Amino acid sequence: MVENVVNLEQLVKDINSEVITWRRHLHENPELSFQEIETSKFVYEILESFGAYELSRPTKTSVMARLIGSQPGKVVALRADMDALPIQEETGLPFSSKKSGVMHACGHDGHTAMLLGAAKVLSTLKDQIKGEVRLFFQHAEELIPGGAQEMVKAGVTEGADTVIGLHLSSQAPIGRFNIIYGSAMAAWDSFDVIIEGKGGHASRPQDTIDPVAIAVQAINGINQFISRKVNPAQRAVISITKIQGSDAHNIIPDSVSFGGSVRTFDPKLRKQIPKWIEQYVKGLTEANECSYKIDYQYGYSAVINDEKVTSVVEQTLIQEFGEEHCKRGEPLMGSEDFSAFSNEVPGCFVFLGAGSENREENYPHHHPKFMIREEALELGVKFYVKTALSYINSKE
């Protein structure tokens, strides 16, 4: 076994200060989805300094690194996302974002730094690895259609046997790994509806076709789909998140727009919901002698963790961190474009706690005060290294 040749525990500890430095640099210099020019350059140059990887740029702002072992074997891919969000940071950290209105508010800076740390550790093992470790530094996880899809189209998963991803969680205490078998994260779709009526003065509603009243009926009806059309045993969510009408108190507008998101796991239900929305809106507008437009966009598909790969990952976590730190979790209604990779090859997506034991100190993801505890970074590096080696050496 590779572990008998070198002390991996010590290697991980030795580079921890570098990982923290990388993370802080990335946090100070965030870049939005599809704009990760300097981030991908930073990652490429660090990987190049290790001298062990075959490097490529599958897309303009992504990086792939291949560590090809001395003998043939399995190919395991490890993934980290790199993009930030359009949020003004309010953490007060000494290494807060230098860019106004842009912030790493989802932990992607930590993901990238951890995978760079794993890359450095693994680079010392090249001559002892049977197979290949492939690293995906992915752009644009936060914005549909997502960077993972572009990387897959560029061929990064060709020849891979599995792909493994890790996400830091500010809502769970440091050291807690959450592993989910099967359905892990929901598919995410979005929609926009425009109700086109006839505007006029608020004092004479009889002269109008009020799109506000019709939109309210539409929203109320759509909000009942899950409770009245979907089997309670199925997991699904429809959330109306925006509505826009007149800007004045005394004007009934010509049109009202509203929209929201849909989260599902079942592919048949995913296809059925837009039909229900259109059927319902069409009936309402016809009954009220007005018209409508609907723009329904399919986003990321559900993340489904492969049972065999997940079993290898779980056993590795129990062995390395202890059963008390490895918890089986329930499917999450959030979404991730990691699914683009795991739709191509069997995969496993895991969560690692990076928050305080005091939950009141933990702000949610995509919050201006979102923070991760840097003590989690060393655990993430170890996770990437150990799971890669375990899979390569497994019988699966």
Q: What are 276-329's pLDDT values in tens digits?
A: 999 999 999 999 999 999 999 999 999 999 999 999 999 999 999 999 999 999
- Tokens coding 145: 């259609």
For residue 122, report the phi and psi dihedrals to the nearest 5 degrees. -65, -30
Residue 174 is predicted with a pLDDT of 94
Q: How many whole angstroms separate alpha carbon 183 and alpha carbon 46?
A: 35
DSSP letters of 202-235? Answer: TT-GGGSB-HHHHHHHHHHHHTTHHHHHS-TTS-
Residue 110 has what pLDDT? Answer: 98
Question: Please, which residues have CB within 8 angstroms of residue 379's CB and are 6 or more apart in sequence?
Answer: 174, 175, 321, 352
The pLDDT of residue 5 is above 80? no
According to the model, what pLDDT value does residue 3 have?
45
Report the candidate in 291, 168, 183 with the shortest Cα–Cα distance to residue 234.
Answer: 183
Q: What's the confidence (pLDDT) of residue 6?
A: 62
Pairing of strands 303-305, 71-81: unpaired
- Please report, as a single letter, which amino acid is at residue 12: V
| Helices 211-222 and 267-287, packing angle to 10 deg | 150
How large is the average pLDDT for residues 326-337?
96
Side chain identity at 382, as an amino acid letter?
K
Q: Parallel, antiparallel, or unpaired: how do β-strands 71-81 and 162-173 relate?
A: parallel
Is the model's pLDDT at 2 over the cut of 60?
no
**Among 20-24, 43-47, 391-395, where is mean pLDDT lowest?**
391-395
Local structure of residue 364 (DSSP, 8 states): P
Q: What per-residue confidence (pLDDT) applies to 361?
A: 84
Q: Is residue 258 a contact partner of residue 243, using CB atoms and an 8 Å limit?
A: yes
Residue 56 has a pLDDT of: 98
Residue 246: which region, alpha, beta or left (left: phi > 0; alpha: psi -120 to 50)?
Answer: beta
- The first and second tokens of residue 192, run together, are 């926009």
C-alpha to C-alpha distance for 217 and 292, rounded to whole angstroms: 14
Question: Looking at the predicted structure, is the pLDDT value of residue 392 above 80?
Answer: yes
Task: Supply the residues annotated as catalytic.
Answer: 83, 141
Residue 396 has pLDDT above 70, yes or no: no
Task: State the pLDDT at residue 221.
Answer: 97
CA–CA distance from 309 to each of 9, 185, 349 (Å)? 23, 16, 10
Confidence of residue 357 (pLDDT cuts 50, 70, 90): confident
Find out whether 31 and 393 touch, Cβ atoms under 8 Å. Answer: no
Contact indicator for 109, 30 with CB cutoff of 8 Å:
yes
- Token pair for 16: 């921890």
Q: How far, in Å, CA of 162 to CA of 79, rounded?
A: 11
Percent of the chain with pLDDT over 70: 98
With the C-alpha atoms ordered 261, 266, 267, 270, is the resulting torsion angle positive or negative?
A: negative
Instruction: Please give the C-alpha separations between residue 331 and each of 37, 168, 232, 302, 351, in angstroms, as whole numbers.
Output: 34, 16, 15, 10, 12
**Angstrom distance (rounded) from CA 305 to CA 179:** 9
CA distance 338 to 49: 27
- With 0-12 CB in 10 A as exposed, 13-18 as middle and 19+ as buried, what is 103? buried
Phi, psi of 354 (to 5 degrees): -140, 30
User: Across all residues in the chain, what is the average pLDDT?
Assistant: 96
pLDDT tens digits for 140-182?
A: 999 999 999 999 999 999 999 999 999 999 999 999 999 999 9
pLDDT at 4 over 80: no
Residue 213 confidence class, pLDDT cut points 50, 70, 90: very high
Q: Does the pLDDT at position 356 exceed 80?
A: yes
The residues pairing with 11 across neighbouring beta strands, listed in sequence order, are none
Q: What is the pTM of this model?
A: 0.93
Is the pLDDT at 1 greater than 50? The verdict is no
- The residue type at 208: T
How far apart CA 308 and CA 345 sit, in angstroms, is 12
65/57 Cα distance (integer angstroms) = 9
Q: What is the pLDDT of residues 234-272, one digit of tens each?
A: 999 999 999 999 999 999 999 999 999 999 999 999 999
